[in-house]
Structure 1
């Protein structure tokens, strides 16, 4: 069974972002080029957050994709591991989490949903979107063999402030009412055409087997 591993730097950053505010926070994991189940960094994009939901900004996700491709990373390195935090004790996926994982990642060969709760509980599940269409929970561990670069709380704090816009549940409900969106439907990841075009691009090989 594969193990989702975090470098000490990536794990420290995820813990910091989890505890920085009182809402959920979502992001993308940046994987090692030679081991896609080893997470080297966590990246946020602009998002609106509540204690029970995260909504990514479509343009911000498209910009993030462009930036990562420009830096020479393949799609599998930055868009296969979706992670977010829970401000409570439980890391069990909510109904919205399950719907999002099913809706957004059903067209890719493999993906991971990872959740870290403030109480310390964690959860990760690997999903195969092709072949046998299997899903299985996977363990989480720290890749201690990697060096310990200095933490950068100032940079992490700046990234949080630039990307995360907390709103109250009442504000969230009002925004959804104004937009005509059902309150039980959270668009956590985008359906922007640029996002979909990037996922389908022949420039990327999506047949990677993670283990």
Structure 2
């Protein structure tokens, strides 16, 4: 016997609220992929957001950093200079100091314990912040953390927003930025070589 009017069982699973995705301009996404692939280490950057849409990343900016295959350490002086430069350009901290972006040279984008500690230590005092990770194989991880009030944390989807105007890629300038900003340290290589 074939049931023609089979009733569906009610779905009692809790529905997740849809959150706004973390969106990248095509320019910012292309630049981030280029910087990820420029070397064999992790690299870090700040996401520069649109003033009217703080979860729309228009650019990715690197600063002086020392990197290994498993870590990124920004220079304190470079962070201070970056903040000064951004304010001089008329941006507010919500546009340049809330979205921490870094890469993983392997296939996993899942945050490490070091990533979690860095996110809490460096971004825990701001009212909100985002940690975004792009792995070598293209996997991504994105999480919004709200630190004010009772606080909360939610994963974000990643989208590339092709509906907005964007600049053409500039791999030569991106390579210059990488070369200026990144010092790679290999802890397994003898420093006497």
1:112 maps to 2:112: no
Unaligned runs of 5+ in 2: 1-18
Q: Residues 143 and 108 (structure 1 numbering): CA distance in 2 closer, same or farther, change over 3 Å? A: same
1:129-171 deviation per Cα after TM superposition (whole angstroms, max 9, x unaligned): 1112100111000111012421101100000000000010246
What secondary structure, in the 3-state scheme, does the structure 2 residue paired with 1:102 have? Answer: helix
Supply the distance in 2 between the matched residues of 1:44 and 1:104 (Cα, whole angstroms): 16
Separation of aligned partners in 1, 2:55 and 2:189: 37
Q: How many residues align?
A: 173
Q: Give the 5 Å matches for 1:60-209.
A: 60-170=78-188
Residue 68 of structure 1 and its aligned partner are, at CA, apart by 0.3
Greater Rg over alpha carbons, structure: 2
Mapped to 2, the partners of 1:151 and 1:66 lie a distance apart of: 26
CA distance in 2, matches of 1:171, 1:59: 27
Compared CA separation, residues 108 and 148, structure 1 to 2 (3 A): closer
CA displacement, residues 31-86 of structure 1 (integer Å, 9 cap, x when unaligned) = 00110000000000000000000000010110000000000000100000001000
Task: State the distance in 2 between where 1:88 and 1:20 align.
Answer: 14
TM-score by length of 2: 0.87
Matches of 1:82 and 1:150 in 2, distance apart? 23
Alignment equivalent of 2:42, drawn from 17, 21, 24: 24
Q: 2:189, 2:119 → 1: CA distance?
A: 25
Deviations, residues 6-33 of structure 1 (Å, cap 9, x unaligned): 0000000000000000000001000001
Alpha-carbon distance in structure 1 between the residues aligned to 2:153 and 2:142: 11
Shift of 1:105: 1.4
Q: CA offsets, 1:93-141, max 9 Å, x none?
A: 0010011111111111100000000011000000011112100111000
Structure 1 unmatched ranges of 5 or more: 175-211
RMSD: 1.3
Distance 1:83 1:64 in 2: 15
The alignment's TM-score, normalised by the length of structure 1, stands at 0.80
Q: Which has the higher helix share?
A: 1
